């Protein structure tokens, strides 16, 4: 039997079949799912259980033949424990959760993927999907990091750029790779010169996403902005605890998001302003 999703109640234990250093403090893991499950979509996430430590949300970087790709950046005790796991160890997963990026099936549009940090994981999966679509489109990926060693999937994106599949705009704060500065610099340059309509797909720190949102609003050619509000606290992942609700709509990021479009983002008054901590208290972004 092929399942649409995995159970909410109990994590399915999956074997790590590959572990690879992706960039500084960040690893790619391939997990073999032991039950047949139907396609994860770009933008969706799983709840990942590290036995004896914690359970937390993690984006999906790829999914093929029942093998799930994830990219983990070291943050605190949970991700640190996870990064110590090796091939042959088991991790629990629930999911696939949340809404996906919405890609128009036809028409001429510039797809602009903008991100940084672990935000690049859903953008990797989206890139794979867009390249397969092969319609009249331009794909541009704008990635920023502090320094070269922290650019996630650098080689992967650079190879696709060299093969003419997309245009990769890399930048770093210290100028060690690409141009020195933020992804917004090349993005604005592109928007000033671009022909036709553009759609933004953004994933990264929320403060960066808000700046990008404000840039996009200045251009009539930007027909939609889809952003992943993954910089938020989550507990259940499937809509029951309300830990991830946003003001004033009450939308739960785990089921109503994490991908929100322009119209929705305009209604979320805490977007780029504050988020809730594990305790429920507000913290400025
Ligand atoms: C939809 C979504 C997708 C994500 N995708 C990825 C990914 O692909 N790769 C990746 O490395 N990280 C991802 N994260 C972030 C990841 O969940 C946190 O980095 C992780 O929970 C940190 O746990 P920790 O114990 O290592 O750190 P802690 O020391 O517990 O916390 C460090 C920081 O991580 C955040 N955090 C902690 N617990 C949670 C939680 N339950 N939910 C959300 N944030 C939390 C908080 O902002 C906190 O300040 C994603 C988060 C969300 C909401
Ligand atoms: S994490 Fe529980 S409702 Fe979203």
Compute the distance between CA of residue 205 and CA of residue 136 in angstroms, rounded to an integer: 30
Sequence-distant (≥ 6) Cβ neighbours of residue 143 within 8 angstroms = 114, 115, 116, 120, 151, 152, 153, 154, 157, 168, 169, 170, 171, 183
282 has pLDDT over 90: no
Residue 216 has which token pair? 């996009």
Residues 223 and 114 reside in one and the same domain: yes
Q: Report whether residue 98 contacts ligand 2, using a CB cutoff of 6 Å.
A: no
222 has pLDDT over 90: yes
Is 45 domain-assigned?
yes
Residues 65 and 167 reside in one and the same domain: no
The pTM assigned to this predicted structure is 0.95
**Sign of the C-alpha dihedral computed for residues 252, 257, 261 and 265 taken in this order:** positive
Which residues lie with the beta carbon below 6 Å from any ligand 1 atom?
45, 54, 56-59, 71-73, 75-79, 118, 121, 230, 232-234, 258
136 has pLDDT over 70: no
pLDDT for position 194: 86
Q: Report whether residue 154 contacts ligand 2, using a CB cutoff of 6 Å.
A: no
Residue closest via CA to ligand 1's atom 52 equals 230
pLDDT for position 3: 73
106 has pLDDT over 80: no
Q: Confidence band (pLDDT; 50, 70, 90) for 101?
A: very high
Residues 138 and 29 reside in one and the same domain: no
What is the tally of structural domains in the chain?
A: 2
1 has pLDDT over 80: no
pLDDT for position 147: 97
CA of 173 to the centre of ligand 2 (A): 34
What percentage of residues in the chain have a pLDDT greater than 90? Answer: 86
Is 189 domain-assigned?
yes
Give pLDDT tens digits for 34-89: 999 988 999 999 999 999 999 999 999 999 999 999 999 999 999 999 999 999 99
Q: Assign residue 270 the CATH number of its domain.
A: 3.40.50.80
Residues 58 and 119 reside in one and the same domain: no
Most confident by average pLDDT, 6-10, 168-172, 280-284: 168-172
Mean pLDDT of 137-160: 96
What percentage of residues in the chain have a pLDDT greater than 70? Answer: 98
CA of 220 to the centre of ligand 1 (A): 35
Q: Confidence band (pLDDT; 50, 70, 90) for 217?
A: very high
Is 49 domain-assigned?
yes
Pairing label, strands 222-228, 259-260: antiparallel
CA of 159 to the centre of ligand 1 (A): 29
Which one of the ligands is nearest to 8 CA? 2
Residue 156 Ramachandran class (φ > 0 left, ψ -120 to 50 alpha, else beta): alpha
193 has pLDDT over 90: yes
Where are the alpha helices (H) located in the chain, listed in sequence order? 77-83, 120-133, 154-162, 183-193, 206-216, 253-256, 262-267
285 has pLDDT over 90: no
CA of 241 to the centre of ligand 2 (A): 5
Is 103 domain-assigned?
no
Pairing label, strands 167-172, 137-145: parallel
Tell me the average pLDDT of the chain.
94
33 has pLDDT over 90: yes
**Sign of the C-alpha dihedral computed for residues 38, 57, 272 and 28 taken in this order:** negative
User: Which of 97, 128, 152 finishes a domain?
Assistant: 97
Domain ranges, residue 155: 109-284
118 has pLDDT over 80: yes
135 has pLDDT over 90: no
Sequence-distant (≥ 6) Cβ neighbours of residue 21 within 8 angstroms = 27, 28
Q: Assign residue 65 the CATH number of its domain.
A: 2.40.30.10
Residue 107 has which token pair? 């028409």
Dihedral pair phi/psi, residue 220, rounded to 5° = -65, -25
CA of 255 to the centre of ligand 2 (A): 8
């Amino acid at each position: 039997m092929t399942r649409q999703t995995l159970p909410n109640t109990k994590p399915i234990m999956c074997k790590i079949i590959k572990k690879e250093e992706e960039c500084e403090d960040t690893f790619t893991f391939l997990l073999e799912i032991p039950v047949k499950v139907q396609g994860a979509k770009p933008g969706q996430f799983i709840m990942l259980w590290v036995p004896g430590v914690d359970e937390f949300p993690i984006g999906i970087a790829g999914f093929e033949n029942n093998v799930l790709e994830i990219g983990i950046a070291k943050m605190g005790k949970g991700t640190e424990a996870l990064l110590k796991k090796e091939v042959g160890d088991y991790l629990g997963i629930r999911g696939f959760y949340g809404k996906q990026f919405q890609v128009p099936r036809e028409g001429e549009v510039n797809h602009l993927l903008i991100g940084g940090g672990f935000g690049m994981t859903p953008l990797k999966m989206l890139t794979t999907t867009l390249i397969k679509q092969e319609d009249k489109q331009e794909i541009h990926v704008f990635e920023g990091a502090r320094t070269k060693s922290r650019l996630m999937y650098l080689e992967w994106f650079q190879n696709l750029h060299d093969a003419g599949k997309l245009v990769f705009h890399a930048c770093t704060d210290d100028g060690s790779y690409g141009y020195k500065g933020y992804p917004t610099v090349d993005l604005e340059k592109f928007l000033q010169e671009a022909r036709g309509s553009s759609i933004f797909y953004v994933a990264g720190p929320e403060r960066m996403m808000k700046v990008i949102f404000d840039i996009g609003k200045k251009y009539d050619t930007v027909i939609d902005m889809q952003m992943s509000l993954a910089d938020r606290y989550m507990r259940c992942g499937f809509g029951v605890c309300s830990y991830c609700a946003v003001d004033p709509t009450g939308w739960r990021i785990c089921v109503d998001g994490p991908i929100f479009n322009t119209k929705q983002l305009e209604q979320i008054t805490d977007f780029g302003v504050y988020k809730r901590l594990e305790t429920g208290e507000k913290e400025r972004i």
